[in-house]
């Protein structure tokens, strides 16, 4: 704001300086040198043009009026005894106002054209960003659909023989004494089979998520329920979950169980990201008809390369992770007509956002 005011004062100063300089030259120059007076007379056009260009019609007319008064004083004082020449000088004054009007009008047209171009440029930039976002979503959705079909087929093929293997391992391990080394191998096999069973279940959930049963729900209740379910895990790791809610609640139309699962996935990831404990901050706000929830951790953060892929199926940075938790969360949020995204700076933690339209009855 100060820079704009300073530039405006500088322009006014330039115009005033030009007017005073030319006027002083007029009054200081002998009338016996009419050629110089004619040059000064035409020089008055310079501050008028600048004023009209910088301050449009009003600025140009104000400058022309000030110059006309000064010029009339000069004519009356120095050229009154030359009526013919004085008349020519008086005839010049209306031209000052005409120039001021023309330049001011053209300046106004230029300003409006520039504002329209800037507005169009901003709208194009917004449209381009939305187009890119839509394209990314379509590309992601297409990749998820193709991978989901393939994964579902593989999971179905694996699940039956996996159940047979699990049963066989349990039977083989029943009669083995506890001190026998085979007992440890049987335990490892049982544990790994259980992990594969969990993976196939997640794959099937990813490929065919349940249709959401939408209810008008208080998001605070969903958050509180999710936080309660991960409290023990957080305490074991020395992590505190903090909640900061607005006093006024805005209900959303979602499947509460599915969104609770999404929040649990994010909270568990946040807890696991903080190996040395710390705190996780859960906040919410309402903005442009949307409820937006945020979960901020204090972990190591996510690199830009990983941030672009965190919702891709089977992408994980954990040793024992399946890489499906956030992909399933992405689908559940999308099926509930919401959005999910994340921001992060390496070394400064990560923040996951989920947003849903505020219930229609409340947004009115």
Q: What whole-number distance in Å separates Cα of residue 279 and Cα of residue 53?
A: 59
The tokens describing 313, both together, are: 């199926």
Task: Output the pLDDT for position 158.
Answer: 65
Would strands 290-296 and 339-344 be described as parallel, antiparallel, or unpaired? unpaired
Top-confidence range, 19-28, 147-156, 169-178, 290-299: 290-299
The CA distances from residue 290 to 173, 250, 287, 313, 341, in Å, are 55, 9, 5, 27, 14
Task: Output the pLDDT for position 74.
Answer: 72
Q: What's the alpha-carbon Rg for the chain, to the nearest Å?
A: 38
DSSP state of 75: H
Q: What is the mean pLDDT of the chain?
A: 79
Least confident residue range of 44-53, 75-84, 237-246: 75-84
Top-confidence range, 99-103, 131-135, 145-149, 210-214: 99-103
Task: Output the pLDDT for position 47.
Answer: 87
What is the DSSP secondary-structure string of 163-228? HHHHHHHHHHHHTS-TTSHHHHHHHHHHHHHHHHHHHHHHHHHHHSPPPP--EEE-HHHHHHHHHH
Per-residue pLDDT reduced to its tens digit, 188-223: 777 777 777 666 666 655 556 667 888 999 999 999
Task: Output the pLDDT for position 291.
Answer: 92
Helix (H, G, I), strand (E, B) or coil at 341: strand
Per-residue pLDDT reduced to its tens digit, 310-344: 887 767 766 666 667 788 888 889 889 899 999 98
Question: Is the pLDDT score of 83 beyond 70?
Answer: no
* Mean pLDDT value across residues 173-195: 72
DSSP state of 85: H
Partners of 243 in the β-ladder:
282
Q: Which residues contact 258 (CB under 8 A, 6 or more apart)?
A: 209, 210, 212, 332, 335, 336
* Mean pLDDT value across residues 11-27: 83
Length of the chain: 364
Question: Is the pLDDT score of 231 beyond 70?
Answer: yes
At 28, the pLDDT band (50, 70, 90 cuts) reads confident
Task: Output the pLDDT for position 222.
Answer: 92
Partners of 144 in the β-ladder:
none
Query: Contact 312/327 with Cβ under 8 angstroms?
Result: yes
Query: Contact 244/272 with Cβ under 8 angstroms?
Result: no
Q: What whole-number distance in Å separates Cα of residue 194 and Cα of residue 325?
A: 17
Task: Output the pLDDT for position 364.
Answer: 42
* Mean pLDDT value across residues 120-135: 74
Per-residue pLDDT reduced to its tens digit, 266-297: 998 888 888 777 899 999 998 888 999 999 99
Task: Output the pLDDT for position 363.
Answer: 45
């Amino acid at each position: 704001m100060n820079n704009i005011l300073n530039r405006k004062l500088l322009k006014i100063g330039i115009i005033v300086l030009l007017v005073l300089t030319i006027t002083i030259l007029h009054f200081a120059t002998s009338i016996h040198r009419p050629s110089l007076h004619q040059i000064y007379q035409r020089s008055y056009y310079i501050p008028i043009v600048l004023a009209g260009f910088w301050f449009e019609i009003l600025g140009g007319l104000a400058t022309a009026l000030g110059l006309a008064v000064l010029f009339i004083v000069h004519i009356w004082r120095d050229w009154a005894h030359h009526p013919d020449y004085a008349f020519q000088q008086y005839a010049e004054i209306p031209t000052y106002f005409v120039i001021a009007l023309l330049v001011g009008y053209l300046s106004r047209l230029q300003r409006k054209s520039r504002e329209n171009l800037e507005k169009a440029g901003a709208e194009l930039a917004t449209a381009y960003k939305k187009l890119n976002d839509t394209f990314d979503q379509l590309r992601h959705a297409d990749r998820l659909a193709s991978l989901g079909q393939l994964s579902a087929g593989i999971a179905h093929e694996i699940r039956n023989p996996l159940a047979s293997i699990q049963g066989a391992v349990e039977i083989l391990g029943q009669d083995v004494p506890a001190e026998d080394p085979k007992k440890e191998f049987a335990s490892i096999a049982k544990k790994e089979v259980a992990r594969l069973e969990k993976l196939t279940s997640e794959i099937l959930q990813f490929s065919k998520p349940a249709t959401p049963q939408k209810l008008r729900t208080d998001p605070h209740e969903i958050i509180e329920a999710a936080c309660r379910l991960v409290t023990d895990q957080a305490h074991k790791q020395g992590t505190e979950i903090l909640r900061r809610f607005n006093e006024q609640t805005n209900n959303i139309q979602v499947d509460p169980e599915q969104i609770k699962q999404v929040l649990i996935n994010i909270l568990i990831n946040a807890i696991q990201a903080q190996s040395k404990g710390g705190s996780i901050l859960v906040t919410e706000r309402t903005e442009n008809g949307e409820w937006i929830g945020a979960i901020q951790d204090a972990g190591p953060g996510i690199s830009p390369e990983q941030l672009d892929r965190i919702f891709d199926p089977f992408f994980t940075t954990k040793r024992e992770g399946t890489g499906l938790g956030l992909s399933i969360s992405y689908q559940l949020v999308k099926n509930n007509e919401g959005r999910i995204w994340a921001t992060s700076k390496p070394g400064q933690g990560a923040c996951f956002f989920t947003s849903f339209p505020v219930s229609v009855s409340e947004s009115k």
